[in-house]
Chain A
Amino acid sequence: MILRLAWASLMARALTVAMTVLAIALSVALFLGVEKVRTGARASFADTISGTDLIVGARSGAVQLLLYSVFRIGNATNNLTWESYQDIAKRPEVDWIVPISLGDSHRQFRVMGTTDEFFDRYKYRGGRALAFDDGHGLDDLYDAVIGADVARTLGYGVGDAIVVSHGLASFTDHADQPFRVAGILAKTGTPVDRTVIVSLEAIEAIHVDWQSGAKIPGHTTPVEAIRTMDLTPTGITAALVGTKSRLQVFNLQRWINQYRAEPLLAILPGVALAELWRIVGVAEQALIAVSAMVVVTALLGMMAMIFASLNERRREMAIWRAMGARPGTILALLVLEAAIMAAVGAVLGMLLLYAGLAVAQPIVDSAFGIWLPLAAPDLRELATLGAVIGAAALASLLPALRAYRMSLADGMMVRT
């Protein structure tokens, strides 16, 4: 009965209560939304690469190597030579090694040179392998396999011709050596979706008439001639390495990092990712703090609303007291009302969040490659909702204590 009366009392002040509930709902949706994006971004980053024990590149920073080799963010400051790559490949600890060569682009998408083994060895989201939606792998020198986002954004299908541009923001195209879309990969939710994959030899082929980053004037080697040339690369951007045993990872890493022929860097993807999170952790915490402050502000608004309503509710309190309610009951009633408002706000906020996620999920995935799962609320989220309701009950204690004191002082007389 008390719960029903508390609910009826709230309904009697529907407009102000609705505004308060809406403020709580929006703040909860914002807080949980920030958390969803944060965890979604972390999961998406962590899911981008799995099963790779080491990433090897020219010596720079661990985070930088991870970002440009896996996430296609930023650029390598240097390449590693093919000889070094082969030295590493010959190491007894190495089970497999996949070279990648970056630097060119097609429209806004990166072009990556690699070997067929990339399609077998690259794993994401806990060991899932790449799959083809259409077509096949790199059979011909001028075959290209494109990621799902590339195909969708540019409207490409198997058999379409594409021209690779030199560099990342260049107006110079390798127009004399067009590629043909041989395959389209299924969506992965990783940077692979936004990558044009060609063979390492193809990267060499399109640069046959180039020197020091510029086309040699007057030189245009016929494609037929290029096909007969030795297209072994001189250098690559990075290599993904799998070891025969996890126990050998550190030995191999040490060997590569002490490699004498050229300065190299071998990183463990997980460790580099952890380092990246440490760097962005401060910003994350700041974002969480700001959204938490929004929740606090909404709860303060609720507290102010209860305070403002106390005077006009003194007669109501006097009726409760005359009927035998203790002052503690008056206090409990107000706390209960606050908890109900917070609970409704929290549930509404959750619904708003999921509606927002349903709308934003494909947009965020497409724009940022961050997959925001539409899963049922986890324990952490439920605990957050519980904390909001608890905080609301706590916040209402102040006006409730005032009501308690007023009900003691007023007795059966109300002087408004």
Chain B
Amino acid sequence: MTDALFLDDVTFAWPGRGGFALSCPSFRVGAGESVLLLGASGSGKSTLLSLVCGIVAADRGQVRVGDTDLGSLRPGARDRFRAERIGVIFQQFNLLPYASVADNILLPLRFAPERRRQAGDAQAEARRLVRALGLPPAALHQRAGTLSVGQQQRVAVARALIGRPPLIVADEPTSALDAATQDGFLGLLFDQSAAAGSSLLMVSHDERVAPRFDRVVRIENVVTRQGQAA
């Protein structure tokens, strides 16, 4: 079965960022697999995520999401591909605070026609996800900025999952949550990712969340970095 994500002999250097560069000889996330990438702050996690999401292109090597080598795509096509195939959850300030919850959830579909088709009735799907993630239906019409941090993270999960993208990338989504809320949040994230059939790649510095994942990878085992942290 094709991997959800495969990095092969990848090197990348940020232009004008104090010479920060990383290389990743090999890293994979299997289809339907949940992988925790553990690493301290400044270990290159965010750069790796930028490569995985196709925000930046590798200088050398291959970043493959499903069957597609991101390096073979032009920048515009990479953006479209990201919208179609990858759901992204940030650690905090995840949403457009001025937009409604519904608009936030539906935003990726604006740039991804195939994912929009996959979602079917997008409004109904947004309502379903909101319900499944334990948010009141009325929250759909609230401004995202008025929700609690925990609620906002759940909306971010709904946004990442809508249209069932094959890969969910989460960048320390629990860092702004207290321990009790963290647990509930992760439970919902796992349940819904599994329901959508999506693979989950989550980066974190918090080892306590490790038992929930199929596999835990320490970033220093897959990434070699040079220069200042990024």
Contact = CB atoms under 8 A, between A and B. Distances in A.
Given A324-B83, A324-B112, A5 B230 contact: no
Contacts of A318: 90
**Interface core residue of B49, B96, B103, B171 (most chain A CB under 10 Å):** B96
B47 interface: yes
A46 to B, nearest CB: 52
B79 interface: yes
A8 B98 contact: yes
A107 B103 CA distance: 71
A9 interface: yes
Interface residues of B, number: 37
Contacts of B94: 319
Contact of A412 (B16, B49, B99): B49
B111 interface: yes
B88 interface: yes
Contacts, number: 85
Given A322-B82, A325-B79, A413-B46, A2 B110 contact: yes
A128 B55 CA distance: 72
B108 interface: yes
A152 interface: no
B190 to A, nearest CB: 21
A5 B103 contact: yes
A280 interface: no
Contacts of B145: 12
Interface string B75-102: 1100110111000101001111111100
Nearest to B82: A324
Nearest to A413: B46
A4 B103 contact: yes
Given A323-B107, A323-B111, A411-B50, A5 B99 contact: yes
Nearest to A8: B98
B171 A9 contact: no
Contacts of A284: none
Contacts of B103: 1, 4-5, 8
Contacts of B84: 324
Q: Is the interface of A mostly helix, strand, loop or mixed?
A: helix
A381 interface: no
B37 interface: no
A237 to B, nearest CB: 70
Given A1-B106, A4-B103, A324 B97 contact: no
A166 to B, nearest CB: 74
A321 interface: yes
Contacts of B111: 323-326, 329
Interface in B138-168: 143, 145, 159
Given A322-B88, A323-B111, A325-B79, A412 B93 contact: no
A413 B83 contact: no
Nearest to A2: B110
Interface in B150-201: 159, 171
Contacts of A11: 98
B107 to A, nearest CB: 5
Contacts of B46: 411-413
Q: Which 6 A-B pairs have the closest CB atoms?
A: A324-B83, A324-B111, A12-B98, A411-B50, A411-B55, A322-B88
Given A8-B98, A324-B79, 12 more contacts: A1-B103, A2-B110, A5-B103, A8-B100, A9-B96, A321-B79, A322-B90, A323-B83, A325-B111, A412-B49, A412-B53, A413-B47
7 contacts: A1-B106, A5-B96, A5-B98, A321-B79, A322-B53, A322-B88, A413-B46
